Structure 1
């Protein structure tokens, strides 16, 4: 009888805990992610803007940006590698504009954002002028409330 009471109470408590856990609002998360990502591309972007963006990612983030980066393997230092790469380009734009076009959510495991963006600037390595305008889609795999894998596609 004591075992039955213990099992019943255990089941009840676990159901209560899972019922009170809040599900991540993926639409709101996607909009927060987009705003943080866009802030890193602004001409006056700061290291704090970069850290705000990186705070939304897991430490072992995987990332692909076809056709430039094709391996989206998750590595223990994934966030560190992104920080290094993004810091190199921080402030390279003299102009940047982006507009969120669509948000698509997939249960609690993924969200996709489609957006237009355009930019002008000077490439920090070869000092040549850059200019682009494009439509992008990012598919974000979510794990424990953070982005675990980013897949970027050009239209």
Structure 2
């Protein structure tokens, strides 16, 4: 009798091409920032994350603890800001891979919009780096830094 497995067995990691994954992640992430972004783009991005995703965006969010409802918390936060941009452009500058455990992307973005909480204009340009810690082919922890 043969046993077929559709996923990893007993701690076996899924191996993916991290450079290709970084390109896919970047495309999905920036799609969520577009002025016409919808829940579809948001769900495409969230599909790349573990359910218990941990997230930091220094200096604003410093706790990177993985929580059972981490993805749901991100969905809630990102839905609040969905469509807040009137203009969004981003350029992927660099991709750095670290064996099969992490990938970093460095990108520049230019943003204009209206803050949904206080209706004040948002205008900024910055260079960001996101370090993505991987687990079984998905992002388990996101660490965001900006210049």
TM-score using structure 1 length: 0.86
Are residue 144 (structure 1) and residue 144 (structure 2) matched?
A: no
> Is 2:79 the counterpart of 1:51?
no
**Per the alignment, do residues 122 and 111 of structure 1 end up closer, same or farther by CA in structure 2, a change over 3 Å counting?**
same
Runs of 4+ in 1 over 6 A off after TM superposition: none
User: Separation in 2 of the partners of 1:137 and 1:23?
Assistant: 23
**CA distances 1:78-116 after superposition (whole Å, capped 9, x unpaired):** 000000000000000000000000000000000000000
**Equivalent residue runs for 1:2-151 within 5 Å:** 23-151=15-143
Q: Bigger radius of gyration, 1 or 2?
A: 1
CA contact 2:14–2:136 (8 Å) conserved in 1: no
Q: Tell me the C-alpha RMSD between the 2 structures.
A: 1.3
Cα distance in 2 for residues equivalent to 1:135 and 1:97: 12
**Structure showing the higher helix proportion among its residues:** 1
Residues matched between the structures, number: 136
Q: Which has the higher relative contact order, 1 or 2, with Cα contacts under 8 A spaced 6 or more apart?
A: 2
**Gap regions ≥5 residues in structure 2:** 1-8
Q: Distance in 2 between matches of 1:59 and 1:69?
A: 19
TM-score (structure 2 length as normaliser): 0.90
